[in-house]
């Protein structure tokens, strides 16, 4: 074997194929994770190999993430992940030889023998998964962090629900209310200025859970509209346990909407663009506002209840 060569030249390649994954997980997860099975694909020596040794074999030398099929190797046995293969322009980052399309099937087989905890173990997920099932689980793990539901700015903060509630209160100065009924008045001096921006977000603590009431102005096609909708701070399965109603009106007329709150797993824009909420045309909203129709004064009432 060439000096500094990888392990893939010293093993019999196993003709196993695996689905390609489009994301990499941090190599730090493997460093501290127990190996639940003793893999024996490396000339019979891996059973005595430490976790750190296995980590080094599966770590991409470019991005330092754990590698998933297809794993490529150069003629000297150095490996690289499929994403970084394109980044290094098909040149081995270790010895600069051409990578080509040689698969390191043996290393892919080694990874198959491992079982690892979910990366969100510290947040409450205690399940163990085979190496190649781990990423699929983590994409939908119920313990994965939530994104900040504030829609007035592109906020990149993530965390669990208690953390996000404090973040909304302290950093975004969002109004917090206790109770399952509400009656809000939205006022805008120039309702003809309709921008794709959230006007207001209010958080309600109801049944021991948190709900986000959004009210904003935007366009559907060329038509300016106002929209109010509710999002649940939790997963979709829990959101289905609740229902809500919204009502707006004036001068003997009213519009009522009833629906199920959407989980904040769905982005604000996704919910808005699906039109899953109470939508009011501007002319009707100005009619409800009364007066000379030059100022928006819209009262939105609603309630939240738990389904039996």
Span 44-53, pLDDT tens digits: 344 434 556 7
Q: Give pLDDT tens digits for 213-255.
A: 998 888 888 888 889 999 999 999 999 999 999 999 888 888 9
Q: Does residue 230 form part of some domain?
A: yes
Question: Which whole number is the average pLDDT over 142-168?
Answer: 90
Contact 80, 93 (CB under 8 A): yes
Q: Are residues 150 and 178 in the same domain?
A: yes
For the whole model, what pTM was predicted? 0.69
Question: Which whole number is the average pLDDT over 80-108?
Answer: 89
Number of structural domains in the chain: 2
pLDDT at 137 over 90: yes
Q: Whole domain around residue 89: which residue ranges? A: 53-139
Q: Are residues 288 and 239 in the same domain?
A: yes
| Of 220 and 302, more confident | 302
Q: Are residues 163 and 283 in the same domain?
A: yes
Q: Are residues 163 and 121 in the same domain?
A: no
Question: Which whole number is the average pLDDT over 136-149?
Answer: 92
Query: Residue 52: what pLDDT?
Result: 60
Q: Does residue 129 form part of some domain?
A: yes
pLDDT at 206 over 90: yes
User: Where a domain ends, among 107, 139, 171?
Assistant: 139
Among 22-26, 156-160, 287-291, the range scoring the smallest mean pLDDT is 22-26
Q: Are residues 279 and 174 in the same domain?
A: yes
Query: Residue 152: what pLDDT?
Result: 66
Q: How far apart are CA 300 and CA 26, in angstroms?
A: 46
Q: Are residues 189 and 267 in the same domain?
A: yes
Q: Are residues 152 and 129 in the same domain?
A: no
Q: Does residue 176 form part of some domain?
A: yes
Token duo for residue 128? 């163990």
Query: Residue 275: what pLDDT?
Result: 92
Q: Does residue 157 form part of some domain?
A: yes
Q: Are residues 126 and 176 in the same domain?
A: no
Q: Are residues 109 and 181 in the same domain?
A: no
Q: How far apart are CA 301 and CA 308, in angstroms?
A: 23
Contact 94, 75 (CB under 8 A): no
CATH number at residue 206: 2.60.210.10
Q: Does residue 160 form part of some domain?
A: yes
Q: Does residue 8 form part of some domain?
A: no
Q: Does residue 46 form part of some domain?
A: no
Q: In what order do the strands lie in the sheet with 181-188?
A: 181-188, 296-306, 242-250, 253-259
Q: Are residues 155 and 302 in the same domain?
A: yes
| Of 243 and 26, more confident | 243
User: Where a domain ends, among 139, 166, 181?
Assistant: 139
Q: Are residues 278 and 193 in the same domain?
A: yes
Kindly report the three-state secondary structure assignment for every residue of 189-235. CCCCCCCCEEEEEEEEEECCEEEEEEEEEEEECCEEEEEEEEEECCC
Query: Residue 281: what pLDDT?
Result: 87
Q: Are residues 135 and 151 in the same domain?
A: no
Q: Does residue 282 form part of some domain?
A: yes
Q: How far apart are CA 289 and CA 298, in angstroms?
A: 6
Question: Which whole number is the average pLDDT over 174-201?
Answer: 74
CATH number at residue 94: 3.30.40.10
């Amino acid at each position: 074997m060439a000096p500094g060569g990888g392990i893939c030249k010293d093993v019999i390649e196993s003709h196993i194929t695996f689905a390609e994954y489009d994301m990499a997980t941090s190599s730090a997860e493997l460093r501290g994770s127990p190996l639940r099975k003793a893999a024996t694909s490396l000339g019979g020596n891996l059973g005595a190999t430490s976790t750190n040794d296995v980590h080094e074999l599966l770590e991409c030398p470019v991005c330092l993430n754990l590698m998933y099929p297809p794993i490529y190797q150069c003629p000297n046995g150095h490996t690289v992940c499929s994403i970084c293969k394109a980044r290094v322009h098909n040149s081995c980052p270790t010895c600069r030889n051409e990578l080509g399309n040689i698969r390191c099937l043996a290393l892919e087989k080694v990874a198959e023998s491992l079982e690892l905890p979910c990366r969100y173990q510290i947040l409450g997920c205690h399940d163990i998964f085979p190496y190649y099932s781990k990423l699929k689980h983590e994409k939908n793990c119920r313990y994965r962090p939530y994104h900040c539901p504030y829609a007035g700015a592109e906020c990149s903060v993530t965390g669990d629900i208690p953390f996000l509630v404090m973040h909304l209160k302290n950093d975004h100065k969002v109004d917090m209310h206790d109770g399952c009924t509400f009656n809000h008045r939205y006022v805008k001096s120039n309702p003809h200025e309709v921008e794709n921006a959230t006007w207001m977000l209010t958080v309600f603590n109801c049944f021991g859970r948190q709900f986000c009431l959004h009210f904003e102005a935007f366009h559907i096609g060329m038509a300016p509209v106002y929209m109010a909708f509710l999002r649940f701070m939790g997963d979709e399965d829990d959101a289905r346990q609740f229902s809500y109603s919204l009502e707006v009106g004036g001068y003997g007329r009213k519009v009522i909407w009833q629906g199920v709150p959407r989980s904040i797993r769905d982005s604000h824009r996704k919910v808005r663009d699906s039109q899953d909420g109470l939508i009011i045309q501007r002319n009707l909203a100005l009619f409800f506002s009364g007066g000379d129709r030059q100022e928006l004064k819209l009262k939105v009432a609603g309630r939240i209840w738990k389904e039996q």
